[in-house]
Amino acid sequence: MTGIVYLIGAGPGDYKLITVKGRECIEKADVIVYDYLADEHLLRWARPDAELIYAGKQCKHHTLHQYEINELLVKFGKEGKIVARLKGGDPLIFGRGGEEALELVKAGVPFEFVPGVTSGISAPAYAGIPVTQRAMATSFAIVTGHEDPTKNESGINWEGLATSVDTISFVMGIGNLPMISQKLMEYGRPKDTPVAVIRWGTKPIQETLISTLETVADDVKKAGIKPPSIITVGDVVNLRESLRWFDNKPLFGKTIMVTRARSKASVLSEQLEALGANVIEAAAIKTQALPLEKKTEDVLLQAHSFKTVIFTSAEGVRYFFKALQTMGKDSRVLGQAKLCAIGSATAKALHDKGLLADIVPADYKGESVVKALRPILKEGDKVLLIQPKVARKVIYNGLTEGGIDVTVARLYETLVDESQAVTLQEALQSDTVDYITFTSSSTVTNTLKLLGEEGKELLKKAKVTCIGPITAATCVEQGIEPDLISDTFTIPAMVAMIQADAANNN
């Protein structure tokens, strides 16, 4: 049985620029062979059982030679596997996609090209530079800058290229920049022609240098700009001053570490990324369902008999419905019970299940749940409290002291996530992290476990940012002084606080 190989353009760097079809191919692949420039965020869409093979190639350092990559693709295709071959940019723009396809044809392995967003256009766009512009640039070329400058004859028609095309983008050209600029001037391009050099285009670590043909080689050397970079030549470069939009976002240039569980990190990460931040996800915690015991099943099946059901987290909502699904039941077990959500995120999780929270306290903590419920519950009323294995006893104690009958259903537990320990340590040791965010007490304690003995010292390298006083108190108990504490215990409030702090300190 023969499989199929998808030769996919992974885009220029920003993982969200992959095409819908590209993502679909990743999601169904048995094997993913990915390059240096294919953002690893893309691998999150891979199946848990997919085989991941890194085939990155950097200057003078090839993990796999091209012939070895070709052999792998043929081998997996002949084994009947679905293969996603992830290549930076577009597979047919200096991506050797055509070479790989010819090998597959020779071996009788089916393939498809899945075009991608090429860096030659997108990197300038993210720098505020359109490669074509009415009355300014009506032609455009993408040229390899990777030619050997010592060879006898160039494959590039420099005489034709220099003056016949309005805008030129060179890929992989930093090493040959002196030769490129000299050739263009030699064949008639004015020495004062604007040039943009864009490193890591479309990513939140993007760097842009503006110069001229005459001075760009020296300027790049002085600035220490290295690959991967795009070199864009032409008058359109002057539009950057007016059209700059990406690298002037409020959090551009800031690196922020998110320690939330991966299942919940995306909400915070996406809001920070939208403001231009470079986000490092280094989950310190993960959650998993507890074994569903018979007595817990009986309690959930009788949920309708409780006056109020209290959800203390969005995860609690998720595991509640997961338990119901395991038992072959759905939200109808709740009957006419009132629903209390500890905060807006928990209320939203209920809303996503088609349910409206009847009670959402003004501020999102256990004490406020007690304050909101005590006036509307009377002695003897039955309440079901959905919680993790380990949780604060504030709600339970506060309600039982008023004579309310509280039953606790513990459906999940929070554990240390050790998978990101190296990412966490290396990022903090590099002195590049501006903020580290803590959204619960468990993210604080588990981060310290992952960091080990030097944890407290490493955390001093970044601004410790807490979602509220309870999380901040845990920091203090652990000997860490929080730098920022949001008054409103929500992700948007935390993001706004970081944005305000960055603005005040620029």
pLDDT in tens, 381-416: 999 999 999 988 999 999 999 999 999 999 999 999
Residue 432 has a pLDDT of 94
265 pLDDT band, cuts 50/70/90, is: confident
- Give the end-to-end CA distance of the chain in Å, rounded to a whole number: 60
Would you say residue 23 has pLDDT above 70?
yes
490 pLDDT band, cuts 50/70/90, is: confident
CA distance 225 to 439: 36
Residue 81 has a pLDDT of 97
| Cα-based distances in Å from 501 to 205, 277, 443, 457, 506 | 20, 13, 22, 22, 9
150 pLDDT band, cuts 50/70/90, is: low
Residue 161 has a pLDDT of 95
Contacts of 182 by beta carbon, 8 Å cutoff, 6+ apart: none
DSSP 275-338: TT-EEEE---EEEEEPP--HHHHHHHHTGGGSSEEEE-SHHHHHHHHHHHHHTT--GGGGTT-E
Tokens of 473: 């108190």
- Of 54-63, 163-172, 432-441, the least confident: 54-63
Determine contact, residues 372/361, Cβ cutoff 8 Å.
Answer: yes
261 vs 68 pLDDT, higher one? 68
Residue 1 has a pLDDT of 66
Would you say residue 60 has pLDDT above 70?
no
- Three-state SS at 87: strand
257 is catalytic: no
Residue 147 has a pLDDT of 75
Question: Domains in the chain, start-ordered, CATH in brackets?
Answer: 4-117 (3.40.1010.10), 121-243 (3.30.950.10), 255-284+417-504 (3.40.50.10090), 289-414 (3.40.50.10090)
CA distance 37 to 58: 9
Which letter does DSSP use for residue 34 in this model? E
CA distance 210 to 219: 9
CB atoms closer than 10 angstroms to residue 336: 6
| Cα-based distances in Å from 411 to 315, 330, 335 | 10, 16, 20
Task: Sort strands 405-416 and 285-289 into parallel, antiparallel or unpaired.
Answer: antiparallel
CA distance 245 to 97: 32
Model confidence pLDDT, tens digit, residues 71-84: 999 999 999 999 99
Tokens of 456: 């407290």
Residue 61 has a pLDDT of 56
Tokens of 302: 């009788």
Would you say residue 62 has pLDDT above 70?
no
Would you say residue 149 has pLDDT above 60?
no
- Of 57-61, 182-186, 259-263, 331-335, the least confident: 57-61
Active-site option among 28, 57, 78, 348: 57
- Of 121-135, 241-255, 261-275, the least confident: 261-275
Active-site option among 39, 90, 172, 179: 172
Would you say residue 267 has pLDDT above 90?
no
Model confidence pLDDT, tens digit, residues 348-370: 999 999 999 999 997 767 889 99
Determine contact, residues 116/89, Cβ cutoff 8 Å.
Answer: yes
483 is catalytic: no
Q: What value does the mean pLDDT of the chain take? A: 93
Model confidence pLDDT, tens digit, residues 467-488: 988 899 999 999 999 999 998 8
172 is catalytic: yes
Residue 43 has a pLDDT of 92
**Helical H segments across 16-164, by residue range:** 20-28, 66-78, 97-107, 119-126, 158-164
CA distance 52 to 19: 20
Active-site option among 35, 90, 166, 247: 35
Tokens of 129: 């530079």
Determine contact, residues 317/349, Cβ cutoff 8 Å.
Answer: yes
For the segment 111-120, the average pLDDT, to the nearest whole number, is 97
